[in-house]
Amino acid sequence: MIQFFGKSAELQLEKDVSTRYLPVVISAMIFLAALSIGGLFSLSKAISDWSETLTGNLTVEIAFDPTADLDKKVTDAVELLSATPGVAAARAIEQEETLKLLEPFLGKNAALGELPVPRLIEVIIAEDSAIDLAALNKKLVEAVPAARLDIHRPWLDKMVLLGRSIQLLAAGIMLLIGCVTVIIVIFAVRTGLIMHSEVIQVLHLIGARDNYIAEQFQNYFSRLSFLGALPGLIVAIIVMFIFNFLVSSLEASMLPPLSVGIEGAIALLLLPVLVALLTKYTVRQVVLKSLRRMM
């Protein structure tokens, strides 16, 4: 890898003490960036999954009433829904199944059986059907007065908004990490230029072009960035695996596991290359600008 990036033969930047800790800083930056990317892509995937699941899915809720025959109401509602054009299926959710949905919030040992839990019916809308949900709700309420059609839309909209906000935050964090990395690299390069000003002057006077000198700096610093980025990325991936393991072992279904998908995985793997390229470009600009001030 060192050969790939080239060595700074004349400037001997490899022996600089001032840049020794740059890989550590880059590593920390990449760790944070990788976690941000993990969050960004996981949320994106989660939002997409929610939308997909809930778009063709409705729930009918029949309010708890100890005096009413809830089973009959459920049966009536299922019959009405099944007979409605555009509805692919209507299924009454068993009481036990409903109570299981509450477990993550109330715990397994809670006295769930004593709760005034409403009865639920899962309705699946046929694909490409143009069903009038308002008319269906009206018809349902007329037939079964305690019934209410829940189309999930408001909840989904809020979740999508929340997800997008967090995505924006993650993108902002990425941008901040990029800016901080650039600033750190600029300071390191400027220090290097000062430390090696005599050698640079000699190289200039025996005919070295600015590009020749800039290449030695950019190769060295991009190598430092690349090699610093690798451990940061590896640690971030390990942390994501640990997070997923904890989520699954705690059965905490409120927290979705981190799942970045193929695009996210590619983005993560490209991080060291991108940071090396960003460093290379930054260093080149800084060095050429500084050299232009010399004769």
Partner 1 sequence: MVRFENVGMRYGLGPEVLRDISFNLLPGSFHFLTGPTGAGKSSLLKLLALSHRPSRGLITLFNKEVSSLARDDLPAMRRKIGVVYQDFRLLDHLSALDNVALPLKLAGAKNDQIYQHVAELLEWVGLGRQVDAKPPTLSGGEKQRVAIARAVINRPQLLIADEPTGSMDAEMGLRLMYLLQELNKIGTTVVVATHDLELISRFGNPVMYLKDGLLTTRAQDNPPPKESKDPA
Provide the binding-site residues for partner 1, judged by CB under 8 A. Answer: 9-10, 12, 15, 198-199, 201-210, 212, 292, 295
**Residue number with CB closer to partner 1 (206 or 262):** 206
Shorter beta-carbon distance to partner 1: residue 9 or 83: 9
Distance of alpha carbon 203 from alpha carbon 115, whole angstroms: 83
- Residue number with CB closer to partner 1 (48 or 201): 201
Which residues, in sequence order, are CB contacts of 96 under 8 Å at separation 6+? none
- Cβ 12 to partner 1 shortest distance, Å: 5
Give the integer Cα–Cα distance in Å for 11 and 231.
27
Give me the residue label for tokens 């892509």: 41
Distances (CA, A) of 190 to 122, 198, 210: 65, 14, 15
Establish how many alpha carbons lie within 13 A of residue 250's alpha carbon, considering only the half-sphere containing its beta carbon.
13
DSSP label of 61: E
Token duo for residue 64: 């708890």
Question: 12 or 191: whose CB is closer to partner 1?
Answer: 12
- Contact present, 255 and 52 (Cβ < 8 Å): no
Choose between 55 and 201: whose C-beta lies nearer to partner 1: 201
Smallest distance from partner 1 to CB 294, Å: 9
Q: What is d(CA 154, CA 158) in angstroms, rounded to the nearest whole number?
A: 6
- Minimum CB separation of residue 39 from partner 1 in Å reads 46
Q: Provide the strand spans (E) within the chain.
A: 57-62, 87-93, 119-125, 147-150
Closest separation in Å from C-beta 295 to partner 1: 6
Closest distance between partner 1 and the C-beta of residue 174, in Å?
37
For partner 1, the closer of residues 203 and 237 by Cβ is 203
**Residue 197 beta carbon to partner 1: minimum distance, rounded to whole angstroms:** 12
As measured in angstroms, the least distance from the Cβ of 292 to partner 1 is 7
Q: DSSP assignment of 13-59, as one string?
A: GGG-STTTTHHHHHHHHHHHHHHHHHHHHHHHHHHHHHHHHHHTEEE
For the chain, what is the total number of helices (H) and then of strands (E)? 9, 4
Nearer to partner 1, 210 or 268 (CB): 210
Based on CB atoms, which residue is closest to partner 1, 108 or 292?
Answer: 292
Phi, psi (deg, nearest 5) at residue 21: -95, 0
CB of 207 vs partner 1, minimal distance in Å: 4
Q: Decide if 290 contacts 190 (C-beta within 8 A).
A: yes
